[in-house]
Every structure is written in C-alpha cells, then in structure tokens.
A and B are shown apart, each in its own frame.
Chain A
C-alpha cells in the first residue's frame, strides 16, 4: 500500500532589526549573557512595551513578498505559558488579527504552497540546562520574529526543502533577515500526517517542534512519515501529539500528548495599541520591494539567455546576483561573465557561506573590464583566465597585467608561421593525430601558447595546425 505525506510548516524567522521588538536593546547575536537586557525585556512589573516601527515594516514586506494580503488593522495578543525562557509568563504575539494573511509561494513545479498567515512576536530567552539547574540568558528574549504559517499543502520532503529555501532567499533579498540557520534565525515546527494515496481526508497529525536545520527537517520528516505509516499498517491509531526531533538518535520522540496540550488563553495585550496601516503606506512598502529571486531568475534566463542551471546558481546568493549584474553591464554575451563567476571565482569560495558573503578582492567593474576585452577580441579566453587569476590574487585591475602590446594579439600571418614551426617541433604528436589520436594536438597547441605567452587564439591555431598536418 502506498502512503502520501501531508505537511504544513510554521517557520520562525528572526528579523534583522537593530533593536528588539518592544524595547531598544540591541538584537546582536551572542554577547555575554544578560548584557542585551533592560527592565522591559526581562519582564519586570510596571514596564511598558512599545512596538518597534521597523518590525511592522519588515513583517509587511515579508508578507508582500509572499503574496499576502496586509491587514489595515492589526493588534498584539498575549499567549500565556509558564516556562523560564519567558520572564513575563506570556509571549506577546498575534492571535486573530495577524499582519499578513492569504499568501503563497510558487515552487519550481509551478505548484503553490499557500501561506495562511504571517504574524510578529517576540523570541524567548535561551536556557542552558546543567545538572539540576537551568541557566537563563535573556539576550535573545524580545528579539523580533515573524512566524510564517503554511497550509498543509506540502506533499514531499523535496517540496518542504524547496519551500523553505525559497522563503529563506526571499527574506534575504528583501533584507528583512539574514536567515543564518546556524545562529537559529530560521526554525521550523513541522505538522505532519499521512493518508493512503487517493484519499481526501487528512489523517491525524503530529507536530515536531523547533527543528533548526534543513538537514534535520528532512530527517525528522522522513522518520515521522515512516513511524506513522508503520503504526497505521499495524492497525493502530496515530495520537495527536507534540514531538521533538532528537538529532543524535535521528528519531522523533514525544514531548506531550493532546490532553497536556497548552491552553494559551490568548487575549489582547492592553499595553500595546492598535496597529493601523493605510492603503497608501502598504502600497509604498510594495513599491519599495526590490526584485525578488523568482523574477530575477526569469530575467536571467529569458533576457540574458543564461542556462537555467547557471541562473539558479547565481540567484541562490544575493551578493553573487548583484555582483553579476554589475559585471555583465553593457556586455552582449552575459554568459561569459557568468562563467567567470561560476567557475573561476566560485572555485575560490568552497563553502555555501563563503559564496553567500562573496568577499572577493576585485569589484565587479574590474571583471566587467576583463569581459569587455574578451568580447572585443582584444585578448583571448585562455589569456583572460590567467589574468583573472592574477587579478583575484592581487585585487588589481586588468591593466596591471595586460599591456597594449598584449592586446594587439598575434596577426594571422605570424600565427601561421608559428604553427608550422610547432608542427615541425612536435613530429610525433602530429603523426599520432594523423593516426586518429585527437588528443595529441594538445602538445602542439601547448607549444604555440608557450611561445606566444598565451596571446595566440587557441581556436584559430588549432584550425591552422589541423590543416597543416593533413597536408
């Protein structure tokens, strides 16, 4: 019997505002424990929270970039639960009037994953459990989050991964979060159930709380899918419960059952006033949005004529995409510029985070100069490759490595003579080529490139050499 996975995600993303959501303490990651705190964010009685204007702006942008409808009138609510990471014993969140509703993200298959809502809330503090004690650090307490809730539209782990990746990229492009998963700035709760293929009704779901890496989300979903299928196939029932992913054992384990489910007793936070956004303000936020990754991708493919694989690699890192746009300015064949980035420059940036930072020694204008020279056929591609390496090593522009003499290249007559000389000097290679060994040509072309210090047009030289040998 085959089973279908049904999943919805609640994605928490830390916003990159400078200050916390209800006070003006810094949101900077790390720092000595309890040094980014004030009476508001440690929940002392008598303090009054005041909403951060930038949090509303960032959340609205997140909503607009994911096709949400933005509410004109919104408010903050208290979600009550008792745990030491929450000094007030309630979290200020949004219940029935979230800032954004009814959005969607389109996957590469053109399927939409619908977004139920996006609301703003405060993060909790950090707990360190040691022996019988719990150490509480409130530096993270009050850091602003958006929670993006999807409909149960996800049908596979791949879809979940693509959805999160798309979400992550959009947030990065619009500049509302740096979404560093290793710093916990993106965390997911996964709601998951299974049903027989072809069935319409949803099965009983479980919720896996607080999974903080793409890899763990995939593993947790896989484990939970198999666990639920095993239970159903053995004729038993799924219990609606909250579970946690244990990455050491690669299993999900129960945290609490339905009967222990929290009663959050939401009510309006009387300390915080109504959030009102006019249509004009919302429109302005919309007009201010930068080009989103999906649109950029289509433009790279359709207008720039880049292969799909190249385009998706370039847009995957915001800094790379921006660099590329500057480097290929006024260039007819954009693919040339893309190649230098994706091959030579990427070779120097081994990890994902290095590519994301894209901290390289030359500005895009320098690469642009180099590509222009190639396009104008002033230097050939092998020479350009060498020069680019030198530029990257030193951070200096093209002119430092190429003289006017170099740019003249080699006229065809001189090249013809040199080819003749090269064939004579490499008689055995020529004979091998005649005998059908195509690769033998390499030795002859190599000779020519050495003699000309890389200035010769390799393609033209190959053509001439082939003719000479056949004669």
Chain B
C-alpha cells in the first residue's frame, strides 16, 4: 500500500515539488504502477535464489594491469567549468 507519506518521501528523493492537491491522485497512480509491476512476481522461477544473475554469467574480470589513462584535456572537455585541472562545480557544503 502506498501512503501519502510515501509520496512525499519519493518526491523529496526525486527533488520534485508536489502540491497538496496532487497527492491524492499520485497515491492512486503510484499504487496502480506498483500493482502492475507486481505481475512479475507471479512468473514461475526455476533459478537458484542466490544466483540472481539473469544472464547466468559469472566472473567477468579485468586483469590488474595498468592501461594508460585518458589525456586530462579529453577528460575535462565536456565540463562547463574547469580550473586547476579540475572540474569546477558550485560549492556543496558538508554533505558527507
């Protein structure tokens, strides 16, 4: 069951502003969406519970040998703002 609180929490995580008047409809819609997605649970599974990789592939590794990295210019070229060889973004304070 989706509650009003769930909607507010999801909105906050998604950084969306939700109007009070929209909550009712969103709650209904979201419940429908979840119900639809739940259909998948009715599928018969013959897989090992632990082994949840749908492709049944295991252990795709790279060897521990260094390959030359990209040029700094190439790495930074899509950045809107660059300084001192770094990507420059607006200051986020003390998140972590």
Contact = CB atoms under 8 A, between A and B. Distances in A.
Given A17-B64, A133-B91, A274-B51, A33 B85 contact: yes
Interface bin, chain B: 35 or more
Interface of B: 9, 13, 50-53, 55, 57-67, 69-70, 72, 75-76, 83-92, 94-96
Nearest to A25: B69
Contacts of B88: 133-136
A139 to B, nearest CB: 9
Given A75-B52, A83-B92, A135-B87, A37 B66 contact: no
Given A33-B86, A274-B53, A134 B92 contact: yes
Given A73-B51, A133-B83, A274-B53, A19 B65 contact: yes
Contacts, number: 127
A85 B59 contact: no
Interface string A74-101: 0100000001110000000000010000
Nearest to A244: B94
B64 A52 contact: yes
Nearest to B87: A136
Given A83-B96, A209-B96, A274-B52, A26 B85 contact: no
Contacts of A326: none
A24 B50 contact: no
A195 B73 CA distance: 55
Given A133-B89, A134-B88, A276 B61 contact: no
Contact of A275 (B13, B52, B58, B95): B58
Contact of A35 (B9, B50, B51, B72): B72
A129 to B, nearest CB: 6
Contacts of A54: 63-64
A121 interface: no
Interface of A: 17-19, 23-26, 32-39, 42, 50-54, 56, 73, 75, 83-85, 97, 128-129, 131-138, 209-210, 244, 255, 263, 265, 268, 272-276
A24 B65 contact: yes
Contacts of B66: 18-19, 24-26
A276 B51 CA distance: 9
A38 B64 CA distance: 16
B57 A50 contact: no
Contacts of B57: 273-274
A56 B62 CA distance: 11
B42 to A, nearest CB: 21
Contacts of B84: 33, 135
Contacts of A128: 86
12 contacts: A17-B64, A19-B65, A23-B62, A24-B66, A51-B60, A83-B92, A85-B96, A131-B91, A263-B9, A273-B59, A274-B53, A275-B59
A53 B85 contact: no
A131 B85 CA distance: 17
Given A25-B67, A51-B61, 5 more contacts: A18-B66, A23-B62, A133-B89, A138-B75, A273-B60
A36 B55 CA distance: 32
A274 B58 contact: yes
A77 to B, nearest CB: 11
Given A75-B52, A136-B86, A50 B60 contact: yes
